[in-house]
Homo-oligomer: A and B are copies of this chain.
């Protein structure tokens, strides 16, 4: 049976997609309400589709361009197959499809949630979470289906379906990297473009509507109100979905690449019941089972009482989430025990080959699951309603906007302390347990319940929309009260979801980073080499500049929106009296255009810089591919370290400001006085929230994509730089460019490391020649060991 294990993930994926279809039909069968509600919901639906359509046009162009570039690479680099282009296109297509599905269901569920809220809260939760479940399972199902499907295809194409060598498997996985690159490219546009869209609409609608015209949020007279609601779907649903789709695929891919290197370290061949590819199959199998457990988890999310409050709703979500995580942990134990050789060999840098028992891989997966949860908790502590840091910001609001802003910034900055320490411990711990394969498996385990995470995430904006529709349709107050409970829980899950997203992105990047080093076959990345150190600095700068560009884009787009709304208020007769109809479409168009225009520069920055580094490196060090590979590696490390910091800083500062502002709704005690909405302190808090909006919804979440895509681009470029698995790289021959004189390089080294402990000697002898290393370990008395060393080094 075991040799069919490769089909298990596909089966799980199809199961997930089937369950999704059923859920989808159920949601769509729910009552979509009456006239006005339906009309508004249709506006949102059409606005979202308009954005998707415009986005897809642009993406199609991008995909064509990138395909040509990939085809060129596959022509130049012998180990990169032209099939990478096919994988790339499908990766992009699947990601877009997942986004499309998610957004459609979200924009159909919102009005049904509103309608359900007219009857009861449990029903409203069931509908809105049902929509989220469709989104989550769609993303996870398509990701596993695509990845496993292409793996099977390439495995059969390049290796005829059975193990030949790690070199051939590297070609399989390198080609598969195209799928991941396609997915992540779409994510860049979805996340950054979506982030700009949603905040441009939000800020623009507020500035003219609330501040200038003095009409409430979600008022149907405001022409930008539909764009604002579309933005919730574009940014928080489609953007987040594409982000996690990308992380999911990239993590599993990186773990597969590192599994291949485990096999290499074990002599290039292992005997197991899975055709010798157990370590490669493990991550994707964990992902497959994760879908199953997510389904089980989603079925547990329900409340019974109509009088339930935030706490009960949050509790229901937590139960579902934790059950799926615990089930995953249990499954990891059995899968690891079943699929991995009991003892593996792994190379540790500077420590040589070591024997690693499969149980240590299991501990590594637990590290991943624990850190994912812990980082979410830390995020909740720094951003949750009523926590100490948020209350401190509330207090500082009493002395004005300046002190509020300082307090928010400081909170975001301080929150990097536990987050980064946890993260560093995760890297160190999972590596110490099972090398970089352990790091990748930690990430894979954490990502296994992506479907559940996304369901929880997507439920928030759906409820937010439902509340907006209730407001715009002027439904009874109790409807809005019910959707507000869901929305409030959604705000908390949005913050913790961002914690999960950045933690997963960071671990994914590390796994990709490790895969990069093994692909290029360099001896590591030595930052004591000045060019490498210089690139570490440049890499560190990129997330900062990227964030600034994203923030400025929001500012520009919001101004466009302001001018349009002002124009409509002036030119459309009767608009303020509710007799004239605002041109919602114009505002949707402005947000759409602005988002697409403004995401170009950050996109170019992300993809262009790694390429520029390689080109400049080639100009200066034509014959030293190793140094160029190290420079690019230094850049990747700089982007990752700085990107994680800025993501945590911006997400948490933004989340804290948001909830500090929200605290005033129920009233807060400042200097012994209850203070409410409308007070000066509240106004100061609103200013803080304005600063935090682009932080937490545009630039902060974009960091995830930036760091993943940077490492992926590096991985795809890697074969150009590394000998990789070939002993002699074919020299690239671009036309009409004179190449430097040909250089053949041989490298041979013998390293002997000896230690004596309690009278027994141990020596590790590593002989490496032209990138192929053999390593032997001797133990015995000092004389014995010396004799053995002499015998092999002579």
- Interface residues of chain A, those whose CB is within 8 Å of chain B, are 207, 211, 349-350, 396, 399-403, 405-407, 409-411, 413-414, 416-417, 420-421, 423-425, 427-428, 431-432, 436, 439, 510, 513-514, 517, 523-531, 533-538, 540-541, 544-545, 547-549, 551-552, 554-555, 562, 623, 626-627, 633-634, 637-638, 641-642, 644-645, 649, 686-691, 694, 741-758
Q: Kindly state the separation between the CA atoms of A411 and B396 in the bound complex, as whole angstroms.
A: 25
Does A687 contact B747, Cβ atoms closer than 8 Å? no
Does A526 contact B743, Cβ atoms closer than 8 Å? no
Q: Kindly state the separation between the CA atoms of A617 and B562 in the bound complex, as whole angstroms.
A: 56
Does B537 contact A529, Cβ atoms closer than 8 Å? no
Note all chain B residues with C-beta closer than 8 A to A541: 416-417, 420-421, 645
Q: Kindly state the separation between the CA atoms of A686 and B535 in the bound complex, as whole angstroms.
A: 38
Note all chain B residues with C-beta closer than 8 A to A547: 413
Q: Which residue of B lies closest to A554 (CB)?
A: B406
Q: Kindly state the separation between the CA atoms of A545 and B418 in the bound complex, as whole angstroms.
A: 10
Contacts A349-B526, A540-B540, A745-B753 known; list 8 others, CB within 8 Å: A402-B687, A405-B687, A405-B690, A410-B555, A427-B530, A427-B534, A544-B649, A743-B756
Residue of A402, A536, A686 ringed by the most chain B CB atoms within 10 A: A402
Q: Kindly state the separation between the CA atoms of A688 and B409 in the bound complex, as whole angstroms.
A: 13
Does A691 contact B540, Cβ atoms closer than 8 Å? no
Give the shortest distance, in Å, between A655 (CB) and chain B (any CB).
Answer: 16
Note all chain B residues with C-beta closer than 8 A to A407: 552, 555
Given contacts A534-B425, A691-B406, contact A517 B510 (CB under 8 A): no
Note all chain B residues with C-beta closer than 8 A to A649: 544
Does A749 contact B746, Cβ atoms closer than 8 Å? no
Q: Kindly state the separation between the CA atoms of A526 and B744 in the bound complex, as whole angstroms.
A: 26
Does A431 contact B531, Cβ atoms closer than 8 Å? yes
Q: Kindly state the separation between the CA atoms of A417 and B517 in the bound complex, as whole angstroms.
A: 27
Residue in B409, B424, B436 whose CB lies within 8 Å of A538 = B424
Give the shortest distance, in Å, between A778 (CB) and chain B (any CB).
Answer: 14
Give the shortest distance, in Å, between A506 (CB) and chain B (any CB).
Answer: 9
Q: Kindly state the separation between the CA atoms of A731 and B424 in the bound complex, as whole angstroms.
A: 29
Q: Kindly state the separation between the CA atoms of A689 and B299 in the bound complex, as whole angstroms.
A: 52
Note all chain B residues with C-beta closer than 8 A to A423: 537
Does B527 contact A406, Cβ atoms closer than 8 Å? no
Note all chain B residues with C-beta closer than 8 A to A642: 540, 641-642, 645
Q: Kindly state the separation between the CA atoms of A304 and B410 in the bound complex, as whole angstroms.
A: 48
Does B517 contact A528, Cβ atoms closer than 8 Å? yes
Give the shortest distance, in Å, between A302 (CB) and chain B (any CB).
Answer: 40
Give the shortest distance, in Å, between A142 (CB) and chain B (any CB).
Answer: 32
Does B400 contact A528, Cβ atoms closer than 8 Å? no
Does B645 contact A530, Cβ atoms closer than 8 Å? no
Q: Kindly state the separation between the CA atoms of A549 and B415 in the bound complex, as whole angstroms.
A: 11
Note all chain B residues with C-beta closer than 8 A to A549: 414
Note all chain B residues with C-beta closer than 8 A to A537: 420, 423-424, 427, 641, 644
Does A403 contact B641, Cβ atoms closer than 8 Å? no
Q: Kindly state the separation between the CA atoms of A400 and B212 in the bound complex, as whole angstroms.
A: 12
Q: Which residue of B lies closest to A623 (CB)?
A: B755
Please, could you name 16 A-B residue pairs with CB atoms under 8 Å apart, sorted by A?
A211-B400, A405-B690, A406-B690, A410-B555, A413-B544, A416-B541, A423-B537, A428-B534, A527-B527, A536-B641, A537-B641, A540-B540, A642-B642, A744-B756, A748-B751, A749-B749
Q: Kindly state the separation between the CA atoms of A617 and B524 in the bound complex, as whole angstroms.
A: 20
Residue of A400, A436, A688 ringed by the most chain B CB atoms within 10 A: A400
Note all chain B residues with C-beta closer than 8 A to A626: 350
Q: Kindly state the separation between the CA atoms of A545 and B627 in the bound complex, as whole angstroms.
A: 33
Give the shortest distance, in Å, between A724 (CB) and chain B (any CB).
Answer: 16
Q: Kindly state the separation between the CA atoms of A428 and B538 in the bound complex, as whole angstroms.
A: 11
Does A538 contact B420, Cβ atoms closer than 8 Å? yes
Note all chain B residues with C-beta closer than 8 A to A403: 555, 690
Does B538 contact A421, Cβ atoms closer than 8 Å? yes
Q: Which residue of B lies closest to A551 (CB)?
A: B410
Residue of A413, A527, A689 ringed by the most chain B CB atoms within 10 A: A527
Given contacts A530-B428, A537-B427, A745-B754, contact A555 B396 (CB under 8 A): yes
Give the shortest distance, in Å, between A441 (CB) and chain B (any CB).
Answer: 14
Give the shortest distance, in Å, between A650 (CB) and chain B (any CB).
Answer: 10
Q: Which residue of B lies closest to A538 (CB)?
A: B424
Residue of A424, A545, A689 ringed by the most chain B CB atoms within 10 A: A424
Give the shortest distance, in Å, between A273 (CB) and chain B (any CB).
Answer: 31
Residue in B545, B638, B753 whose CB lies within 8 Å of A641 = B638
Q: Which residue of B lies closest to A768 (CB)?
A: B751
Does A551 contact B427, Cβ atoms closer than 8 Å? no
Residue in B425, B523, B526, B752 whose CB lies within 8 Å of A747 = B752
Note all chain B residues with C-beta closer than 8 A to A528: 349, 513-514, 517, 524-525, 633
Q: Kindly state the separation between the CA atoms of A342 and B491 in the bound complex, as whole angstroms.
A: 68
Q: 4 tightest CB-CB pairs across the interface, nearest first?
A: A402-B690, A431-B530, A413-B548, A524-B526
Note all chain B residues with C-beta closer than 8 A to A409: 548, 551, 691
Q: Kindly state the separation between the CA atoms of A690 and B409 in the bound complex, as whole angstroms.
A: 13
Q: Kindly state the separation between the CA atoms of A423 and B400 in the bound complex, as whole angstroms.
A: 38
Does A753 contact B744, Cβ atoms closer than 8 Å? no
Note all chain B residues with C-beta closer than 8 A to A623: 755
Does B533 contact A427, Cβ atoms closer than 8 Å? yes
Give the shortest distance, in Å, between A394 (CB) and chain B (any CB).
Answer: 14
